[in-house]
Protein backbone atom coordinates (compact mmCIF):
# COMPACT_ATOMS: atom_id res chain seq x y z
CA UNK A 1 0.00 0.00 0.00
CA UNK A 2 1.41 3.36 -1.00
CA UNK A 3 1.75 6.12 1.56
CA UNK A 4 -1.33 8.27 2.07
CA UNK A 5 -0.99 12.05 1.88
CA UNK A 6 2.78 12.22 1.36
CA UNK A 7 2.47 16.00 0.69
CA UNK A 8 0.87 16.58 4.09
CA UNK A 9 3.51 14.52 5.85
CA UNK A 10 6.23 16.42 3.98
CA UNK A 11 4.59 19.68 5.06
CA UNK A 12 4.61 18.50 8.69
CA UNK A 13 8.35 17.80 8.47
CA UNK A 14 8.93 21.15 6.76
CA UNK A 15 7.12 22.92 9.61
CA UNK A 16 9.03 20.90 12.22
CA UNK A 17 12.30 22.02 10.61
CA UNK A 18 11.12 25.63 10.59
CA UNK A 19 9.70 25.75 14.13
CA UNK A 20 12.12 23.23 15.69
CA UNK A 21 9.15 21.55 17.28
CA UNK A 22 9.41 17.82 16.63
CA UNK A 23 6.49 15.71 15.46
CA UNK A 24 5.45 12.17 16.41
CA UNK A 25 6.75 9.40 14.15
CA UNK A 26 4.52 8.73 11.13
CA UNK A 27 4.89 5.05 11.93
CA UNK A 28 2.99 5.51 15.21
CA UNK A 29 -0.27 5.96 13.32
CA UNK A 30 0.77 3.92 10.27
CA UNK A 31 3.13 1.15 11.37
CA UNK A 32 3.24 -0.37 7.88
CA UNK A 33 5.01 2.58 6.28
CA UNK A 34 8.17 1.29 4.63
CA UNK A 35 11.32 2.59 2.96
CA UNK A 36 9.56 3.40 -0.32
CA UNK A 37 6.95 5.42 1.57
CA UNK A 38 9.75 7.29 3.33
CA UNK A 39 11.34 8.24 0.01
CA UNK A 40 7.92 9.29 -1.34
CA UNK A 41 7.60 11.75 1.56
CA UNK A 42 11.23 12.90 1.14
CA UNK A 43 10.50 13.57 -2.55
CA UNK A 44 7.68 15.92 -1.49
CA UNK A 45 9.77 17.61 1.21
CA UNK A 46 12.79 18.49 -0.93
CA UNK A 47 10.90 20.83 -3.34
CA UNK A 48 9.49 22.72 -0.35
CA UNK A 49 13.03 23.39 0.88
CA UNK A 50 14.34 24.26 -2.58
CA UNK A 51 11.47 26.71 -3.02
CA UNK A 52 12.97 28.69 -0.11
CA UNK A 53 16.07 29.24 -2.24
CA UNK A 54 18.15 26.30 -1.07
CA UNK A 55 20.01 23.97 -3.41
CA UNK A 56 21.34 20.42 -3.37
CA UNK A 57 25.15 20.25 -3.14
CA UNK A 58 25.48 16.54 -2.51
CA UNK A 59 24.08 13.62 -0.58
CA UNK A 60 24.43 11.89 2.72
CA UNK A 61 24.30 8.17 3.16
CA UNK A 62 23.21 6.83 6.52
CA UNK A 63 22.73 3.45 8.18
CA UNK A 64 26.07 2.34 6.74
CA UNK A 65 27.14 0.35 9.80
CA UNK A 66 25.84 -3.07 10.76
CA UNK A 67 25.10 -1.75 14.26
CA UNK A 68 22.87 1.05 12.96
CA UNK A 69 21.15 -1.21 10.44
CA UNK A 70 20.33 -3.69 13.21
CA UNK A 71 19.04 -0.86 15.41
CA UNK A 72 16.61 0.27 12.71
CA UNK A 73 15.92 -3.26 11.48
CA UNK A 74 17.09 -2.89 7.90
CA UNK A 75 19.84 -4.41 5.78
CA UNK A 76 20.71 -1.50 3.51
CA UNK A 77 21.80 2.12 3.94
CA UNK A 78 19.53 5.11 3.30
CA UNK A 79 20.22 8.50 1.75
CA UNK A 80 19.09 12.09 1.58
CA UNK A 81 20.16 15.32 -0.08
CA UNK A 82 22.63 17.75 1.51
CA UNK A 83 21.43 21.35 1.28
CA UNK A 84 23.75 24.28 0.70
CA UNK A 85 22.28 26.17 3.67
CA UNK A 86 23.46 23.47 6.08
CA UNK A 87 27.17 23.43 5.26
CA UNK A 88 29.74 24.74 7.75
CA UNK A 89 33.45 25.25 7.40
CA UNK A 90 36.30 23.99 9.55
CA UNK A 91 36.46 26.19 12.66
CA UNK A 92 32.88 27.44 12.46
CA UNK A 93 30.59 27.84 15.41
CA UNK A 94 27.49 25.76 14.88
CA UNK A 95 24.44 27.24 16.63
CA UNK A 96 22.69 24.68 18.75
CA UNK A 97 19.31 26.34 18.40
CA UNK A 98 19.27 25.60 14.70
CA UNK A 99 18.53 22.02 15.61
CA UNK A 100 16.13 19.99 17.71
CA UNK A 101 18.24 17.14 19.14
CA UNK A 102 21.58 17.20 17.31
CA UNK A 103 24.39 14.67 17.47
CA UNK A 104 27.87 14.57 15.94
CA UNK A 105 29.23 11.92 13.59
CA UNK A 106 32.71 11.96 12.05
CA UNK A 107 32.69 10.83 8.42
CA UNK A 108 34.88 10.68 5.36
CA UNK A 109 33.40 13.01 2.74
CA UNK A 110 34.19 12.49 -0.93
CA UNK A 111 34.19 15.22 -3.56
CA UNK A 112 33.11 13.95 -6.94
CA UNK A 113 35.26 14.81 -9.93
CA UNK A 114 33.17 13.23 -12.63
CA UNK A 115 29.48 12.58 -13.20
CA UNK A 116 28.39 9.20 -11.93
CA UNK A 117 25.07 7.77 -13.12
CA UNK A 118 23.74 4.38 -12.06
CA UNK A 119 22.55 1.72 -12.31
CA UNK A 120 25.49 -0.58 -12.88
CA UNK A 121 28.16 1.59 -11.25
CA UNK A 122 31.00 -0.54 -9.83
CA UNK A 123 33.23 0.32 -6.90
CA UNK A 124 36.12 0.74 -9.34
CA UNK A 125 34.15 3.24 -11.43
CA UNK A 126 33.11 5.08 -8.28
CA UNK A 127 36.72 5.34 -7.17
CA UNK A 128 37.77 6.67 -10.57
CA UNK A 129 35.06 9.36 -10.39
CA UNK A 130 36.15 10.62 -6.95
CA UNK A 131 38.32 13.75 -7.06
CA UNK A 132 39.36 13.39 -3.45
CA UNK A 133 38.33 13.31 0.18
CA UNK A 134 37.89 15.85 2.96
CA UNK A 135 37.54 15.44 6.72
CA UNK A 136 33.88 15.69 7.63
CA UNK A 137 31.50 15.92 10.53
CA UNK A 138 27.80 15.42 10.12
CA UNK A 139 25.37 16.91 12.54
CA UNK A 140 22.48 14.51 12.53
CA UNK A 141 19.16 15.75 13.83
CA UNK A 142 15.68 14.32 13.91
CA UNK A 143 12.48 16.21 13.38
CA UNK A 144 10.82 13.16 14.97
CA UNK A 145 10.31 13.46 18.73
CA UNK A 146 12.98 11.81 20.92
CA UNK A 147 14.66 10.16 17.92
CA UNK A 148 11.86 7.57 18.08
CA UNK A 149 12.44 6.76 14.42
CA UNK A 150 11.59 3.76 12.33
CA UNK A 151 12.98 3.39 8.84
CA UNK A 152 10.20 5.26 7.00
CA UNK A 153 10.40 8.15 9.50
CA UNK A 154 14.13 8.76 9.13
CA UNK A 155 14.10 8.33 5.34
CA UNK A 156 11.28 10.87 5.03
CA UNK A 157 13.21 13.25 7.31
CA UNK A 158 16.16 13.58 4.87
CA UNK A 159 17.83 10.58 6.50
CA UNK A 160 18.03 12.59 9.74
CA UNK A 161 20.56 15.01 8.25
CA UNK A 162 20.97 18.29 10.09
CA UNK A 163 24.16 19.91 8.80
CA UNK A 164 27.74 19.16 7.87
CA UNK A 165 31.17 20.64 8.40
CA UNK A 166 34.18 19.81 6.28
CA UNK A 167 37.85 20.67 6.01
CA UNK A 168 38.78 22.67 2.92
CA UNK A 169 41.71 20.71 1.55
CA UNK A 170 40.62 18.09 -0.98
CA UNK A 171 43.09 15.23 -0.72
CA UNK A 172 43.44 13.01 -3.78
CA UNK A 173 43.09 9.33 -3.01
CA UNK A 174 46.08 8.25 -5.14
CA UNK A 175 47.49 5.23 -3.33
CA UNK A 176 45.29 5.63 -0.26
CA UNK A 177 42.95 2.86 0.85
CA UNK A 178 39.98 4.74 2.36
CA UNK A 179 38.99 1.63 4.32
CA UNK A 180 42.09 2.10 6.45
CA UNK A 181 41.91 5.86 7.06
CA UNK A 182 41.92 6.17 10.84
CA UNK A 183 39.87 8.73 12.76
CA UNK A 184 39.92 10.09 16.30
CA UNK A 185 37.08 12.17 17.69
CA UNK A 186 37.70 14.44 20.67
CA UNK A 187 35.35 16.65 22.67
CA UNK A 188 37.01 19.49 24.54
CA UNK A 189 40.32 17.71 24.03
CA UNK A 190 39.18 14.40 25.44
CA UNK A 191 39.20 11.32 23.24
CA UNK A 192 35.64 10.09 22.73
CA UNK A 193 35.90 7.49 20.03
CA UNK A 194 37.98 6.18 17.17
CA UNK A 195 37.23 4.40 13.92
CA UNK A 196 38.40 3.68 10.41
CA UNK A 197 36.84 4.08 6.98
CA UNK A 198 35.80 0.43 6.76
CA UNK A 199 33.09 1.17 9.34
CA UNK A 200 31.10 2.66 6.44
CA UNK A 201 29.72 -0.32 4.53
CA UNK A 202 33.13 -2.03 4.62
CA UNK A 203 34.53 0.62 2.23
CA UNK A 204 33.51 4.28 1.88
CA UNK A 205 33.99 4.02 -1.89
CA UNK A 206 31.35 1.26 -1.96
CA UNK A 207 28.99 3.79 -0.37
CA UNK A 208 29.40 6.06 -3.40
CA UNK A 209 28.71 3.19 -5.80
CA UNK A 210 25.64 2.18 -3.79
CA UNK A 211 24.34 5.75 -3.83
CA UNK A 212 24.91 6.19 -7.56
CA UNK A 213 23.02 2.98 -8.22
CA UNK A 214 19.96 3.72 -6.08
CA UNK A 215 19.73 7.29 -7.38
CA UNK A 216 20.13 5.92 -10.89
CA UNK A 217 16.89 3.99 -10.46
CA UNK A 218 15.17 7.39 -10.18
CA UNK A 219 17.09 8.88 -13.08
CA UNK A 220 19.23 11.02 -10.77
CA UNK A 221 23.01 11.26 -11.24
CA UNK A 222 25.82 12.34 -8.95
CA UNK A 223 27.34 15.48 -10.41
CA UNK A 224 30.93 16.82 -10.44
CA UNK A 225 31.55 18.81 -7.26
CA UNK A 226 28.91 16.95 -5.28
CA UNK A 227 29.86 16.09 -1.71
CA UNK A 228 29.09 12.55 -0.60
CA UNK A 229 28.96 11.92 3.14
CA UNK A 230 29.78 8.26 3.47
CA UNK A 231 28.48 7.45 6.96
CA UNK A 232 29.55 7.55 10.58
CA UNK A 233 32.70 5.75 11.69
CA UNK A 234 31.54 5.54 15.33
CA UNK A 235 28.41 5.91 17.49
CA UNK A 236 26.81 9.39 17.30
CA UNK A 237 27.60 11.80 20.18
CA UNK A 238 25.08 14.33 21.57
CA UNK A 239 26.11 18.03 21.33
CA UNK A 240 26.06 20.43 24.25
CA UNK A 241 26.49 24.20 24.25
CA UNK A 242 30.15 25.19 24.45
CA UNK A 243 31.54 21.84 23.30
CA UNK A 244 34.44 21.82 20.87
CA UNK A 245 34.44 18.74 18.65
CA UNK A 246 37.47 17.80 16.61
CA UNK A 247 37.56 14.89 14.19
CA UNK A 248 41.04 14.15 12.92
CA UNK A 249 41.54 11.82 10.00
CA UNK A 250 44.81 10.22 8.99
CA UNK A 251 45.86 11.60 5.58
CA UNK A 252 42.94 14.08 5.49
CA UNK A 253 43.61 16.24 8.53
CA UNK A 254 41.20 17.65 11.10
CA UNK A 255 37.85 19.39 11.09
CA UNK A 256 36.78 21.30 14.20
CA UNK A 257 33.51 22.90 15.23
CA UNK A 258 32.39 24.78 18.31
CA UNK A 259 28.83 24.39 19.52
CA UNK A 260 27.31 27.83 19.94
CA UNK A 261 24.07 29.16 21.28
CA UNK A 262 22.03 31.06 18.73
CA UNK A 263 21.84 31.24 14.97
CA UNK B 1 41.64 -15.36 55.54
CA UNK B 2 45.12 -15.75 54.12
CA UNK B 3 45.30 -16.16 50.38
CA UNK B 4 47.83 -18.67 49.11
CA UNK B 5 48.93 -17.25 45.77
CA UNK B 6 50.56 -20.54 44.73
CA UNK B 7 47.24 -22.33 45.19
CA UNK B 8 45.41 -19.76 43.11
CA UNK B 9 48.04 -19.96 40.36
CA UNK B 10 47.67 -23.74 40.40
CA UNK B 11 43.92 -23.45 39.88
CA UNK B 12 44.46 -21.20 36.87
CA UNK B 13 47.16 -23.48 35.46
CA UNK B 14 44.81 -26.44 35.85
CA UNK B 15 42.05 -24.56 33.99
CA UNK B 16 44.50 -24.06 31.11
CA UNK B 17 45.53 -27.73 31.16
CA UNK B 18 41.92 -28.95 31.42
CA UNK B 19 40.64 -26.40 28.87
CA UNK B 20 37.81 -25.80 31.28
CA UNK B 21 36.66 -22.47 32.67
CA UNK B 22 36.58 -21.92 36.43
CA UNK B 23 34.65 -19.52 38.63
CA UNK B 24 36.31 -16.21 39.33
CA UNK B 25 38.59 -16.26 42.37
CA UNK B 26 37.32 -13.13 44.07
CA UNK B 27 33.96 -14.58 45.07
CA UNK B 28 35.44 -17.46 47.03
CA UNK B 29 38.31 -15.50 48.56
CA UNK B 30 36.48 -12.28 49.31
CA UNK B 31 37.54 -9.19 47.40
CA UNK B 32 40.90 -10.12 45.90
CA UNK B 33 43.10 -7.00 45.67
CA UNK B 34 45.19 -5.96 42.70
CA UNK B 35 48.52 -6.65 44.43
CA UNK B 36 47.40 -10.22 45.13
CA UNK B 37 46.33 -10.53 41.49
CA UNK B 38 49.84 -9.58 40.35
CA UNK B 39 51.37 -11.94 42.93
CA UNK B 40 49.38 -14.81 41.43
CA UNK B 41 50.44 -13.73 37.95
CA UNK B 42 54.07 -13.74 39.08
CA UNK B 43 53.70 -17.38 40.14
CA UNK B 44 52.44 -18.21 36.66
CA UNK B 45 55.23 -16.20 35.04
CA UNK B 46 57.90 -18.10 36.98
CA UNK B 47 56.51 -21.36 35.64
CA UNK B 48 55.88 -20.18 32.07
CA UNK B 49 59.26 -20.96 30.49
CA UNK B 50 61.04 -18.46 28.24
CA UNK B 51 59.28 -15.11 27.99
CA UNK B 52 59.25 -12.93 24.87
CA UNK B 53 57.65 -9.77 26.18
CA UNK B 54 54.64 -8.13 27.73
CA UNK B 55 51.05 -7.25 26.98
CA UNK B 56 48.73 -4.54 28.10
CA UNK B 57 45.08 -4.98 28.90
CA UNK B 58 42.07 -2.73 29.37
CA UNK B 59 43.62 0.13 27.41
CA UNK B 60 40.73 0.84 25.07
CA UNK B 61 37.51 2.58 25.91
CA UNK B 62 35.59 -0.25 24.27
CA UNK B 63 37.39 -2.78 26.44
CA UNK B 64 37.08 -0.73 29.59
CA UNK B 65 33.37 -0.32 29.01
CA UNK B 66 33.10 -4.07 28.42
CA UNK B 67 34.41 -4.88 31.91
CA UNK B 68 33.69 -1.60 33.73
CA UNK B 69 37.16 -0.34 34.70
CA UNK B 70 39.30 2.69 33.86
CA UNK B 71 42.97 1.68 34.40
CA UNK B 72 45.19 -0.49 32.23
CA UNK B 73 46.73 -3.73 33.47
CA UNK B 74 49.62 -5.84 32.20
CA UNK B 75 50.65 -9.43 31.73
CA UNK B 76 53.51 -11.45 30.25
CA UNK B 77 53.94 -13.16 26.88
CA UNK B 78 55.26 -16.72 26.98
CA UNK B 79 57.22 -17.83 23.93
CA UNK B 80 55.26 -21.08 23.95
CA UNK B 81 52.09 -19.18 23.11
CA UNK B 82 53.44 -17.48 19.97
CA UNK B 83 51.84 -18.51 16.69
CA UNK B 84 53.86 -18.10 13.54
CA UNK B 85 52.51 -16.19 10.54
CA UNK B 86 50.24 -18.47 8.55
CA UNK B 87 49.96 -21.04 11.32
CA UNK B 88 46.39 -21.88 12.35
CA UNK B 89 44.87 -21.28 15.75
CA UNK B 90 43.77 -24.53 17.32
CA UNK B 91 40.58 -23.48 19.08
CA UNK B 92 40.30 -26.94 20.67
CA UNK B 93 43.31 -26.04 22.85
CA UNK B 94 41.52 -23.00 24.23
CA UNK B 95 38.45 -22.36 26.36
CA UNK B 96 36.65 -19.33 24.88
CA UNK B 97 39.00 -17.59 22.45
CA UNK B 98 38.45 -14.02 21.25
CA UNK B 99 40.63 -12.00 18.87
CA UNK B 100 41.81 -8.40 19.17
CA UNK B 101 43.87 -6.28 16.76
CA UNK B 102 46.84 -4.59 18.41
CA UNK B 103 49.92 -2.54 17.59
CA UNK B 104 53.03 -4.45 18.64
CA UNK B 105 56.27 -2.71 19.62
CA UNK B 106 59.63 -4.45 19.18
CA UNK B 107 62.30 -3.05 21.47
CA UNK B 108 65.61 -2.19 19.85
CA UNK B 109 67.24 -1.45 23.19
CA UNK B 110 66.58 -1.73 26.90
CA UNK B 111 64.07 0.70 28.34
CA UNK B 112 63.40 1.19 32.04
CA UNK B 113 62.61 3.87 34.55
CA UNK B 114 59.87 5.72 36.37
CA UNK B 115 59.74 8.69 33.97
CA UNK B 116 59.64 7.02 30.56
CA UNK B 117 57.27 8.68 28.07
CA UNK B 118 55.71 7.72 24.74
CA UNK B 119 58.51 9.51 22.89
CA UNK B 120 61.11 7.37 24.70
CA UNK B 121 59.19 4.24 23.72
CA UNK B 122 59.17 5.19 20.04
CA UNK B 123 62.87 6.07 20.14
CA UNK B 124 63.68 2.71 21.74
CA UNK B 125 61.57 0.68 19.29
CA UNK B 126 63.24 -1.04 16.35
CA UNK B 127 59.89 -1.76 14.76
CA UNK B 128 56.13 -1.73 15.07
CA UNK B 129 53.83 -4.39 13.66
CA UNK B 130 50.26 -5.60 13.38
CA UNK B 131 49.40 -8.16 16.02
CA UNK B 132 46.43 -10.34 16.76
CA UNK B 133 46.07 -11.30 20.36
CA UNK B 134 43.90 -14.31 21.08
CA UNK B 135 42.61 -13.79 24.59
CA UNK B 136 41.16 -16.73 26.46
CA UNK B 137 39.86 -16.05 29.94
CA UNK B 138 40.08 -18.97 32.27
CA UNK B 139 36.97 -17.60 34.01
CA UNK B 140 33.53 -18.72 32.99
CA UNK B 141 31.94 -16.30 30.48
CA UNK B 142 34.74 -13.74 31.01
CA UNK B 143 33.22 -12.84 34.39
CA UNK B 144 35.98 -11.41 36.57
CA UNK B 145 37.14 -8.50 38.68
CA UNK B 146 40.24 -6.53 37.80
CA UNK B 147 42.31 -8.54 40.32
CA UNK B 148 40.94 -11.80 38.89
CA UNK B 149 41.94 -10.94 35.34
CA UNK B 150 45.39 -9.77 36.46
CA UNK B 151 45.88 -13.10 38.26
CA UNK B 152 44.86 -14.83 35.01
CA UNK B 153 47.71 -13.06 33.17
CA UNK B 154 45.18 -10.62 31.67
CA UNK B 155 43.47 -13.43 29.74
CA UNK B 156 46.58 -14.04 27.60
CA UNK B 157 46.06 -16.97 25.26
CA UNK B 158 47.97 -16.96 21.96
CA UNK B 159 49.44 -14.21 19.81
CA UNK B 160 50.73 -13.65 16.30
CA UNK B 161 52.89 -10.76 15.11
CA UNK B 162 53.24 -9.45 11.56
CA UNK B 163 56.41 -8.24 9.87
CA UNK B 164 57.66 -5.08 11.62
CA UNK B 165 58.17 -1.70 9.98
CA UNK B 166 60.25 1.18 11.36
CA UNK B 167 58.13 3.50 13.53
CA UNK B 168 59.69 6.73 12.22
CA UNK B 169 57.21 9.00 10.50
CA UNK B 170 54.12 7.01 11.44
CA UNK B 171 51.51 8.69 13.64
CA UNK B 172 50.37 5.60 15.50
CA UNK B 173 47.54 7.58 17.04
CA UNK B 174 45.82 8.01 13.69
CA UNK B 175 46.48 4.77 11.84
CA UNK B 176 43.22 3.08 10.87
CA UNK B 177 42.52 -0.37 12.32
CA UNK B 178 40.07 -2.84 10.79
CA UNK B 179 39.13 -6.23 12.20
CA UNK B 180 37.37 -8.64 9.86
CA UNK B 181 35.97 -12.07 10.52
CA UNK B 182 35.09 -14.25 7.54
CA UNK B 183 35.28 -11.24 5.24
CA UNK B 184 32.95 -9.07 7.28
CA UNK B 185 34.07 -5.93 9.12
CA UNK B 186 33.39 -6.55 12.80
CA UNK B 187 35.07 -3.46 14.27
CA UNK B 188 37.21 -0.46 13.37
CA UNK B 189 39.36 1.94 15.39
CA UNK B 190 42.43 4.08 15.18
CA UNK B 191 45.60 3.64 17.20
CA UNK B 192 44.42 6.24 19.72
CA UNK B 193 41.98 3.65 21.06
CA UNK B 194 44.80 2.42 23.28
CA UNK B 195 45.20 5.05 26.00
CA UNK B 196 45.14 7.87 23.44
CA UNK B 197 48.40 6.62 21.86
CA UNK B 198 49.73 3.06 21.84
CA UNK B 199 53.24 4.26 22.73
CA UNK B 200 51.75 5.96 25.80
CA UNK B 201 50.33 2.60 26.83
CA UNK B 202 53.79 1.03 26.55
CA UNK B 203 55.27 3.96 28.51
CA UNK B 204 52.70 3.30 31.25
CA UNK B 205 53.92 -0.32 31.34
CA UNK B 206 57.57 0.74 31.67
CA UNK B 207 56.78 3.11 34.52
CA UNK B 208 54.67 0.43 36.21
CA UNK B 209 57.44 -2.17 35.86
CA UNK B 210 59.95 0.31 37.29
CA UNK B 211 58.10 0.16 40.59
CA UNK B 212 59.16 -3.50 40.81
CA UNK B 213 62.70 -2.80 39.60
CA UNK B 214 61.91 -4.30 36.19
CA UNK B 215 62.00 -2.97 32.66
CA UNK B 216 61.92 -3.84 28.98
CA UNK B 217 64.86 -5.51 27.25
CA UNK B 218 66.12 -5.25 23.68
CA UNK B 219 64.40 -7.87 21.53
CA UNK B 220 61.26 -8.03 23.67
CA UNK B 221 57.86 -7.32 22.18
CA UNK B 222 54.95 -5.47 23.74
CA UNK B 223 51.31 -5.89 22.72
CA UNK B 224 50.10 -2.37 23.40
CA UNK B 225 46.45 -3.16 24.07
CA UNK B 226 43.37 -4.27 22.17
CA UNK B 227 42.08 -1.52 19.88
CA UNK B 228 38.56 -2.86 19.40
CA UNK B 229 36.16 -5.01 21.34
CA UNK B 230 37.34 -8.63 21.17
CA UNK B 231 35.69 -10.83 18.54
CA UNK B 232 34.82 -14.42 19.55
CA UNK B 233 36.16 -17.10 17.18
CA UNK B 234 35.39 -20.75 16.58
CA UNK B 235 36.84 -23.43 14.32
CA UNK B 236 36.50 -22.44 10.67
CA UNK B 237 36.69 -18.69 11.27
CA UNK B 238 39.26 -16.55 9.50
CA UNK B 239 40.23 -13.34 11.27
CA UNK B 240 42.10 -10.51 9.52
CA UNK B 241 43.60 -7.50 11.29
CA UNK B 242 44.67 -4.61 9.05
CA UNK B 243 46.44 -1.51 10.30
CA UNK B 244 47.19 1.33 7.92
CA UNK B 245 50.92 1.77 7.22
CA UNK B 246 51.78 -1.39 9.20
CA UNK B 247 50.16 -4.19 7.17
CA UNK B 248 47.80 -7.11 7.62
CA UNK B 249 47.81 -10.32 9.63
CA UNK B 250 45.48 -13.20 8.88
CA UNK B 251 44.66 -15.93 11.35
CA UNK B 252 42.76 -19.07 10.43
CA UNK B 253 41.01 -21.02 13.18
CA UNK B 254 40.52 -24.76 13.20
Average pLDDT score, chain B: 94
Residue B10 or residue B64, greater confidence: B10
**Would you state the pLDDT for residue A68?**
85
Q: Using an 8 Å Cβ cutoff, are B14 and B46 in contact? A: no
Across the interface, do A196 and B192 touch by the CB < 8 Å criterion?
Answer: no
Cα–Cα distance for residue pair A128/A112, rounded to 1 Å: 9
Q: Which residues of A touch B195 (CB under 8 A)?
A: none
What size, in residues, is chain B?
254
Q: Nearest by CB to B178, from A180, A191, A249: name it.
A: A180
Beta strands in B37-175 (DSSP E): 51-57, 73-78, 82-83, 98-107, 125-135, 156-161
Average pLDDT score, chain A: 95
DSSP state of B48: S
**Would you state the pLDDT for residue B63?**
64
pLDDT exceeds 70 at position B66: no
pLDDT tens for A156-185 read 999 999 999 999 999 999 999 999 999 999
Output b/e per residue, B122-156; b: 16+ Cβ within 10 A.
bebbebbbbbbbbbbbbbeebebbbbbbbbbbbbb
**Would you state the pLDDT for residue A17?**
97
**Would you state the pLDDT for residue B248?**
98
pLDDT exceeds 60 at position B57: yes
Cα–Cα distance for residue pair A86/A165, rounded to 1 Å: 9
- The domains of chain B are located at 5-252
Burial of A11: CB neighbours in 10 Å, binned 0-12, 13-18, 19+: middle
**Would you state the pLDDT for residue A114?**
97
Across the interface, do A182 and B196 touch by the CB < 8 Å criterion?
Answer: no
pLDDT tens for A111-133 read 999 999 999 999 999 999 999 99
CATH of domain B5-252: 3.90.850.10
- The domains of chain A are located at 6-260
Beta bridge partners, A29, equal none
pLDDT tens for A182-218 read 999 999 999 999 999 999 999 999 999 999 999 999 8
Closest CA of chain B from A194, distance in Å: 5
pLDDT exceeds 60 at position A263: no
pLDDT tens for A61-112 read 999 988 888 888 888 999 999 999 999 999 999 999 999 999 999 999 999 9
Over range B164-192, report the average pLDDT: 97
pLDDT tier at B61 (50, 70, 90 boundaries)?
Answer: low
Which residue of A67, A107, A180 to mutate against B (max B Cβ within 10 Å)?
A180
Over range B182-196, report the average pLDDT: 96
Cα–Cα distance for residue pair A68/A66, rounded to 1 Å: 6
- Predicted TM-score of the model (pTM): 0.94
pLDDT tens for B93-147 read 999 999 999 999 999 999 999 999 999 999 999 999 999 999 999 999 999 989 9
Residues 63-102 of A with CB under 8 A from B: 66
**Would you state the pLDDT for residue B105?**
98
Q: Nearest by CB to A181, from B191, B192, B244: name it.
A: B244
**Would you state the pLDDT for residue A66?**
84
Pick the CATH number of A6-260 from 2.60.15.10, 2.60.40.1120, 3.90.850.10, 3.40.50.300: 3.90.850.10
Residues 45-74 of B with CB under 8 A from A: 61
pLDDT exceeds 70 at position B75: yes
Q: Which residues of A touch B130 (CB under 8 A)?
A: none
pLDDT tens for A45-64 read 999 999 999 999 999 999 99
Residues 157-196 of B with CB under 8 A from A: 171, 173-178, 180, 184-185, 188-193, 196
Across the interface, do A198 and B188 touch by the CB < 8 Å criterion?
Answer: yes
**Would you state the pLDDT for residue A115?**
97
- Using only C-alpha atoms, chain B has a radius of gyration, in whole angstroms, of 17
**Would you state the pLDDT for residue B137?**
97
Amino acid sequence: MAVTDAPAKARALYEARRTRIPIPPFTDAEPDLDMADGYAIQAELVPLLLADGDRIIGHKVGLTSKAMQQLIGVDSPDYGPVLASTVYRDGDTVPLDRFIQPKIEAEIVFVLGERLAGPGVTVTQARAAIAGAVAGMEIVDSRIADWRIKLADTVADLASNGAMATSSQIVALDGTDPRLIGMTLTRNGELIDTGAGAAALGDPVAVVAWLANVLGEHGVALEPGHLIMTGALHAAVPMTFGDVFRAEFDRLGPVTIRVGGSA
Amino acid sequence: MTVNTADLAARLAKAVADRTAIDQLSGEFGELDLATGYAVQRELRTAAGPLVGWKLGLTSRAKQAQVGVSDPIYGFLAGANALDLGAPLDTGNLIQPRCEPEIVFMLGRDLAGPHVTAADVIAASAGVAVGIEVIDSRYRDYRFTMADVVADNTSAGRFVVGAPVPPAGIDLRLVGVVLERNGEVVATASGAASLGHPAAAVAWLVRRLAADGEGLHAGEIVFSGGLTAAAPVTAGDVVVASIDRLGTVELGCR
